[in-house]
Amino acid sequence: MSIVTVQLGQCGNQIGHEVFNAICSDVHGTHGLCSKKENESYCDACKERFFCEEESEVPVARAVLVDMEPKVISQTLSMAARSGYWKYDDRSHFCQKQGSGNNWANGYSVHGPRHKEVIMNLVQKEAEKCDRLGGFFTIMSMAGGTGSGLGAYVTQCLRDAFPTSFILNHVIWPYGTGEIIVQNYNSVLTLSHLYQSSDALLVHENDVIHKICAQLMNIKQISFRDVNQVIAHQLGSVFQPTYTAEGGLHYSRNPLGDLMETLVPHPEFKMLGLRNIPQMPENSLAYSTFSWPGLIKHLRQMLIANAKMEEGIDWQVRPPRLGLHPLSHSANKPLQFNTSIANLVILRGKDMHSVDLGSFRDPSLYTSWLNPQDAFNVWKTPRAFNKYEKSASLVSNSQFLLKPLDNVVGKAWNMFASKAYIHQYTKFGIEEEDFLDSFTALEQVISSYTIL
Amino acid sequence: KGIYDEALSSFFRNVDTRSGGDGPDIYKGKICSLKARALLIDMEEGVVNEILQGPLRDVFDSKQLITDVSGSGNNWAVGHKLYGSQYRENIVEKLRKAAEHCDCLQCFFIIHSMGGGTGSGLGTFVLNLLEDEFPEVYRFVTSVYPSGEDDVITSPYNTVLAMKELNEHADCVLPIENESLFDIVNKIHQMINSGKLGSTVKQNSLVTSSAGSAKTVQEKPFDAMNNIVANLLLNLTSSARFEGSLNMDLNEISMNLVPFPRLHYLVSSLTPLYTLADVNVPSRRLDQMFSDAFSREHQLIQADPKHSLYLACALLVRGNVQVSDLRRNIERLKPSLHFVSWNQEGWKTGLCSVPPVGHSHSLLSLANNTCVKPTFIELKDRFMKLYKKKAHLHHYLHVDGMEQSCFSEAISSLSDLIEEYNELDATKGGPRTDPSRLKIAV
């Protein structure tokens, strides 16, 4: 089954490019560390998912590139073509001359309806190239105007045109400060709209990735490229082929569907966070060895202590003891403990069959209304990923994003109370009422995640 | 000859002069003949003629000029009312022509002075025309404000009358004061002559190019000063012209920096002013560039943003600067700056990878800051001094369409603006109480 990626705006296009790069270098790497047969079926599964080969000599990404200004797309297309390993379809992109100006309303209410037909035609064509369409993966930032505003609009259109396909929105959470001044407004509008039409939102926070670049990857002068490469690596670690528990000896053919089934049991909860270990500079890899129990122990503590990376984990945090106060479960739990709805662990590398994941099945990690057996799932493959002989990823529907969400809504609300910048939105037809609706929807989400 | 590319096309058309310049633009390939996407308007002939005889004569042709012979006599009313109605058709037609040659018209730049008659009067008339004819296109105005010891007696009148138009019809105004430009030019001059920078000063860098030698500075101080303003506009548009890892279009500037429609006056500063064009810039000097952008001496008006209240701030960086450099410097500078309570994180940033010619990196900072207020208060005082005595009023009132109410409306528009800044200033340093959030029934 195939996934069609939709790259929206500067951020979405830059990250999308890095994702295909990461997938390709993984496939072409000599670090598979598994049998030839294993590697072949892994590569085949990967190609079916992300590339179509048509008549061209290199794989062509199953992607649609959309931006409202031309510079980033033309740069992205030519960089991909130069790589020699893969490329984008020459016709599968759409851009305009003038960007959305960081204005969500401009992207959503003006550019969206105006360019709907062209964009959806491109998507339709890409979808028709798939023997079986598994769903859509959109990549966008929620801070600007094009990714966020047009992205929200396009997601709605995808939902209408493909009512039975899965839609996973990859959303870049902006730096807390310093990118775009109206980013909190744009974020509130984006998240509230995506919550209506998307199946799940997979979130990466720029601040977190920036820290990973500095502390784990030891990069001195961090560029957006560095940040995007870490994001791409993490996404690759989830979406490269794996065996699922049910799938037996075949690589899963429906990664988006499997992901939703595992992680999104209730439409009120669709915010997914991603953690990945280990992460280190390439030149340190040769001097490092990893053991599965060590990786799992760290990943599990990262989950319950809500650590964003494998450094500075708070080892004091423990799950609450169940059964003591069944009615006031949430009120009595230790403050820092991160309650989950559902978790998915992905293991890549040799001996992954021997790994004991009992610590992730502990019912005290999860909210009480879901059967713990249904709340945890694991995907595996003996094939190593991207030069790491062993690696583990965690996709979690938990309180990971509660605090960032509360921050964004709080800051946007402060600004909204002074009515600052509202005139920029009403100019394009987004009224105060629309803001209030969005605030209400997100306060509801915050409240739901809080009382887990 | 060079190649005509996207970056060049933002300010210039590429035309085949054999067809008289009216033929279709040549989009790809070699530069044929460049024509500025510009309209030159003056109500006398001297300056425009000088341009037409200067080194840039080829980028303008007679179809881009509108001139008269008699000037506006430092009278806003003559420029705005008299010449406005007289030249309206002509201006509109030439604007439309110029606009037709653009495949994506993003923005108009109006460059004028506030103190005289033509720039101030006819300039703001053109501003209104643009709003009528091209309501969707952003209007950025670069306004040179007169200094206290200006030799035009009526300059306070002209400036205040023009301010009302800017308040109502501009999307963004970048105020400039000659005094500040003059100080900056002098400082560059001193640095070069003091030898402090040794032989590493790049004489031909953009900022110093026409101030290359001490002699030219004295002979033509305006060239060096104008150069600074030109660089302001170049840096302002760099991210729209060249690629970068964090692009910033012009429409993002007003979106991020203008929280309320009338508060659209942005104080700008350029750094470094005297760049040594070393290729490898140590990080300390890079950080110095960020510090300088907030110092009083680098502002293009006489103002001190550091000790006033920020509503919003944009940093447009060019050259080899990465997001981590930006973040480090914002974190470093933030504690020393005051931001309005509802915009504590009011930073907008752009990263353009192409530096200015001859430099390794540069920074343009745009601040929406209450520090513009003293300039406006001083202007108001100087206006009132004349207005109380009704001095020179008759020169204005005898122009058709000019009434006394124009004056009272203009001054109350300015007073309102000052009051808006006052209200914001009053929130500075007070206790911060966040508005209570929406409650969800559980």
Q: Out of A20-24, A300-304, A322-326, B94-98, which region has the weakest mean confidence (pLDDT)?
A: A322-326
Q: Which helix (H) or strand (E) holds A165?
A: none
- Give residues 394 to 423 of A whose Cβ lies within 8 Å of B: 409-411, 413-415, 417-418, 420-421, 423
Same-domain pairing of A251 and A105: yes
Please compute the mean of the pLDDT values over residues B150-161 and round it to a whole number.
92
In DSSP terms, B67 is beta-bridged to: B42
Q: Are residues A102 and A238 in the same domain?
A: yes
The predicted structure's pLDDT at residue B284: 66
The residue among B264, B323, B424 with the most chain A CBs within 10 A of its CB, best to mutate, is B323
The residues with which B339 forms a beta bridge, in sequence order, are B310
- Look at residue A105 and tell me whether its pLDDT is greater than 80: yes
Mean pLDDT of chain A: 92
- For residues A388 and A277, the answer to whether their CB atoms sit within 8 Å is no
Cβ neighbors of A154 (< 8 A, separation 6 or more) are A6, A8, A66, A112, A119, A138
- Assess whether A429 and A363 both reside in one domain: no
A171 and A191 inside one domain: yes
Among A69, A223, A418, the residue with its CB nearest the CB of B245 is A223
Taking an 8 Å cut-off on Cβ atoms, the answer to whether B342 and A75 are in contact is: no
Are B251 and A98 within 8 A, CB to CB?
yes
**B18, pLDDT greater than 80:** no
- Helix and strand numbers (H, E) in chain A are 17, 14
* Local structure of A182: helix, strand or coil: coil
Phi and psi of B306, rounded to 5°?
-60, -30
Phi (first) and psi of residue B195, to 5 degrees? 75, 5
pLDDT of residue B244: 85
Share of chain B above pLDDT 90, in %: 65
Closest by Cβ to B245, choosing from A96, A224, A439: A224
Does A325 or A438 have the greater pLDDT score? Answer: A438
Question: How does B404-436 read in b/e, with b if 16+ C-beta sit within 10 Å?
Answer: eebbeebbebbeebbeebeebbeeeeeeeeeee
Q: A410 lies in which domain range?
A: 403-450
SS3 (DSSP) at B357: coil
pLDDT (average), residues A407-435: 96
Q: Are both A290 and A413 inside the same structural domain?
A: no
Interatomic CA distance for residues A434 and A141, integer angstroms: 20
Average pLDDT over residues A104-123: 97
Q: How many helices (H) and strands (E) does chain B have?
A: 15, 12
Q: Quick check: A13 pLDDT over 60?
A: yes
- Interface A-B, measured as beta-carbon pairs within 8 A, has a size of 134
Q: What is the pLDDT of residues B293-315, one digit of tens each?
A: 999 999 999 999 999 999 999 99
Residue A232 and residue A380 share a domain: no
Which residues on A lie below 8 Å from B353 (Cβ)? none
* Gap between the terminal Cα atoms of chain B: 71
If you measure CA to CA, which chain B residue comes closest to A15? B245
Is the same domain home to A6 and A70? Answer: yes
**What whole-number distance in Å separates Cα of residue A53 and Cα of residue A27?**
15
pLDDT of residue B173: 98
CA distances from B155 to A227, B120, B183, B380 (A): 53, 9, 21, 11
Q: Give the pLDDT confidence of B163-188 residue by residue, as tens digits.
A: 999 999 999 999 999 889 988 888 87
Judgement on whether residues A316 and A337 belong to the same structural domain of the protein: yes
Average pLDDT over residues A364-385: 91
Please provide the CATH number assigned to the domain covering B171-388.
3.40.50.1440
Q: What is the pLDDT of residue B214?
A: 40
Q: What is the pLDDT of residue B277?
A: 36
Task: Please count the other Cβ atoms lying within 10 Å of the Cβ belonging to residue A271.
Answer: 25
Q: pLDDT tier at A437 (50, 70, 90 boundaries)?
A: very high
Q: Residue B197 pLDDT more than 70? A: no
Q: pLDDT tens, B217-276? A: 455 678 888 889 999 999 999 988 898 888 888 889 999 999 999 999 999 999 887 554
Stretch A401-417: mean pLDDT: 96
The answer on pLDDT for B196 being more than 80 is: no
Measured CA to CA, the distance from residue B335 to residue B424 in angstroms comes to: 19
B 90-149: CB under 8 A from A: 103-104, 106
With a cut of 90, say whether residue B162 has pLDDT above it. yes
Are both A225 and A287 inside the same structural domain? no
Question: Residue A327 pLDDT > 70, yes or no?
Answer: no
Q: Hey, which residues does A170 pair with through a beta bridge?
A: A139, A202
Q: What angle do CA A392, A237, A310 make, to 5 degrees?
A: 45
Q: Taking a C-beta distance cutoff of 8 angstroms, is the pair B230, B190 a contact?
A: no
What topology does CATH give the domain B38-169+394-423? Rossmann fold (3.40.50)
Which of A374, A398, A422 terminates a domain? The answer is A398
Q: Where are the domains of chain B?
A: 1-36, 38-169+394-423, 171-388
Tell me which of A9 and A336 has the higher pLDDT: A9
Which positions in chain B touch A215 (Cβ < 8 Å)?
A: none
Question: Per-residue confidence at A313, pLDDT binned at 50, 70, 90?
Answer: very high
Could you give the percent of chain A with pLDDT greater than 70?
Answer: 96
Least confident among A195-204, A221-230, A417-426, B9-18: B9-18
Nearest 5°: the CA angle A46, A51, A57 is 115
ipTM over 0.85: yes
Q: To the nearest whole percent, how much of chain A has pLDDT over 90?
A: 80
The pLDDT, as a whole number, for residue A334 is: 55
Q: Which domain CATH number covers A103?
A: 3.40.50.1440
Interchain contact A447–B (C-beta under 8 A):
yes
pLDDT band at A342 (very low <50, low <70, confident <90, very high): very high
Instruction: Give residue B356's pLDDT.
Output: 87
Which of A102, A413, A421 is closest, CB to CB, to B435? A413
Q: Is B21's pLDDT higher than 80? A: no
Residue A181 sits at the chain B interface (C-beta within 8 Å):
yes
B345 touches chain A (CB under 8 A): yes
Q: How confident is the model at residue B126 (pLDDT cuts 50, 70, 90)?
A: very high
A298 & A371 share domain? yes
Region B410-437: mean pLDDT is 91
In whole angstroms, what is the distance from residue B144 CA to residue B230 CA?
Answer: 13
Q: From chain B, pick out residues whose CB is under 8 angstroms from the CB of A331.
A: none
Same domain, residue pair A169 and A52: yes
B212 pLDDT above the threshold of 50: no
Select from B246, B252, B260 the Cβ nearest to the Cβ of A224. Answer: B246
The answer to whether the Cβ–Cβ distance between A447 and B440 falls below 8 Å is yes
Task: Check CB contact under 8 Å for A176 and B345.
Answer: yes
Separation of alpha carbons A379 and A246, rounded Å: 10
Determine the Cα–Cα distance for residues B179 and A291; give it in Å rounded to an integer.
69
Tell me: the pLDDT tens digits for B334-382?
Answer: 999 999 999 999 999 999 999 988 788 899 999 999 999 999 999 999 9
A298 shares its domain with A231:
no
pLDDT at A328: 47
- Give mean pLDDT, residues A60-76: 94
CATH number for the domain harbouring residue A393: 3.30.1330
Residue contact A99–B249, C-beta within 8 A: yes
For chain A, how many structural domains are there in total?
Answer: 3
Rounded to two decimals, the pTM is 0.91
Contacts of A2 (CB under 8 A, 6+ apart): A48, A49, A50, A52, A62, A129, A130, A131, A132, A133, A134
| Dihedral sign of CA atoms A166, A172, A176, A180 in order | negative
Final residue belonging to a domain, choices A273, A301, A328: A273
Q: Specify the pLDDT at position B206.
A: 47
For the residues A192-213, what does the mean pLDDT come to?
97
Structure confidence at residue A32 (pLDDT): 76
Q: Show contacts of B123-128: CB within 8 Å, 24+ apart.
A: B123/B41, B123/B79, B123/B162, B124/B80, B124/B161, B124/B162, B124/B165, B124/B166, B124/B169, B125/B79, B125/B80, B125/B83, B125/B84, B125/B88, B125/B165, B126/B41, B126/B91, B127/B165, B127/B166, B127/B169, B127/B170, B128/B165, B128/B169
Identify the pLDDT of residue B432. Answer: 75
Closest CA to B270 of B197, B185, B337, B366: B366
Last residue of a domain, one of A273, A293, A312: A273
User: Residue A158: is its pLDDT beyond 50?
Assistant: yes
Mean pLDDT (whole number) for B101-124: 94
Collapsing DSSP to helix, strand or coil, B310 comes out as strand
A 116-145 near B (Cβ less than 8 A): 145
